Amino acid sequence: MDNAAKAAPPGTRKEPAEILYTRSLEVSFDGFKAIRGVDFTLGAGELRFLIGPNGAGKTTLLDVICGKVKPSAGEVVFAGRHDLARYQEHQIARLGIGRKFQAPSVFANLTVLDNLLLSAKQARGLFAALLAGKKPSNAERPLATLELIGLAHQANRPAGALSHGEKQWLEIGMLLVQEPELLLLDEPAAGMTDKETEKTGELLHKISSRQSVIVVEHDMEFVRQFAKTVTVMHEGAILKQGTMADVQNDARVAEVYLGRQVVKHA
Ligand code: ADP
Ligand code: MG
């Protein structure tokens, strides 16, 4: 395992420009292809928005990347050398891929800060930390993360007392203290107020200066405001990829997705 990493002396191994790619990826549920032939590439440090109508396969794509679902064909490769189909979910987390599901799950009875401290302890493990040349986790990162997610003033409140939006940020924080290289977020702004949604967009931009992020998002206004590159999925395949303007000007996208809004006004 990990021949590429062993072959080259430290410091000379070239980091791949892409942090993740899939080739001819397929996911089949009892014969139904939820993903059919997806070639998806994410650059290191990129913030990518994944959109598409319900049932397009967005959540399934995240499920494959984090190991919750196994591909039926094709490959999914992380950091140029990890064939993710061969790893279990907890191993993939340890490789540095953090996944946030749609519903927030925090420890309601623990304080905000304790939630972060606990998560930091469960981080990738001492061995991985040493390999990466990092110190084992202390309180520094949880405290910095507390600031980043805008909850410093709530540090000692029980997490259960937070608003829905604040819980979502806390859960993102709980992933961040584990220092993932790639963060997968499924509809992080769902159910948020406009103000919370805006803060979430700003948080995503801050996060993406340090790690690669894939965000599945339903709220088109949110995508319009915060996305640089957008990948549109439809019926298990990639329909279009580009800037929001590219996507909005694409006739096929308009037909399957954005068009619904246009039609409404017609
Ligand atoms: P999206 O997140 O884009 O709305 P999903 O990835 O959740 O779409 O679902 C894609 C398709 O796969 C849908 O038709 C859905 O019903 C189906 N699907 C998802 N998960 C399963 C599963 N565990 N078993 C069977 N079908 C599934
Ligand atoms: Mg989904």
Question: Which residues form the domain of 45?
Answer: 16-102+182-191+211-265
The per-residue pLDDT for 115 is 95
The per-residue pLDDT for 146 is 96
Q: Within a domain: residue 169?
A: no
Contact 54 CB / ligand 1 (< 6 Å): yes
Number of domains in the chain: 1
For 209, the token pair is: 């200066």
Point out which residues pair with 182 in neighbouring strands: 97, 212
For 192, the token pair is: 């948020």
Give this prediction's pTM: 0.87
2 CA to centre of ligand 1 in angstroms: 32
The per-residue pLDDT for 158 is 98
Q: Are 34 and 71 in contact (CB under 8 A)?
A: no
The per-residue pLDDT for 219 is 76
Q: Within a domain: residue 42?
A: yes
The per-residue pLDDT for 7 is 45
Q: CA 69 → CA 45, 72, 169, 175, distances in Å?
A: 25, 9, 25, 20
Q: Within a domain: residue 256?
A: yes
Q: Within a domain: residue 200?
A: no
Q: Within a domain: residue 143?
A: no
Contact 29 CB / ligand 1 (< 6 Å): yes
- Give, for ligand 1, the residue of 28, 60, 102 to mutate: max count of ligand atoms closer than 8 Å to Cβ: 60
Q: Within a domain: residue 259?
A: yes
The per-residue pLDDT for 180 is 93
Domain with 250 in it: what CATH number? 3.40.50.300
Listing DSSP states for 232-255 in one string gives EEETTEEEEEE-HHHHHT-HHHII
The per-residue pLDDT for 207 is 92
Contact 249 CB / ligand 1 (< 6 Å): no
Contact 221 CB / ligand 1 (< 6 Å): no
The per-residue pLDDT for 210 is 85
The per-residue pLDDT for 141 is 87
Which string of b and e fits 22-60 if b means at least 16 CB within 10 Å? beebbbbeeeebbbbebebbbebebbbbbbbbeebbbbb
Residue 123: DSSP 8-state: S
Measured in degrees and rounded to the nearest 5, phi and psi for residue 248 equal -65, -25
131 CA to centre of ligand 2 in angstroms: 35
Residues 6 or more apart whose CB falls under 8 angstroms from that of 208 comprise: 45, 46, 47
Using CB atoms within 10 Å of the CB of residue 167, give its burial: 0 to 12 exposed, 13 to 18 middle, 19+ buried.
Answer: buried
Q: Within a domain: residue 159?
A: no
For 37, the token pair is: 């032939």
Alpha-helical (H) ranges within the chain are 3-7, 58-66, 89-95, 112-121, 126-131, 140-148, 164-176, 194-208, 220-226, 244-248, 251-253, 259-265
Point out which residues pair with 21 in neighbouring strands: 41, 77
The pLDDT averaged over each successive group of 10 residues in the chain (266 residues) is 46 70 97 97 94 94 97 96 94 92 84 93 59 61 94 97 95 93 94 92 91 89 88 96 92 76 42
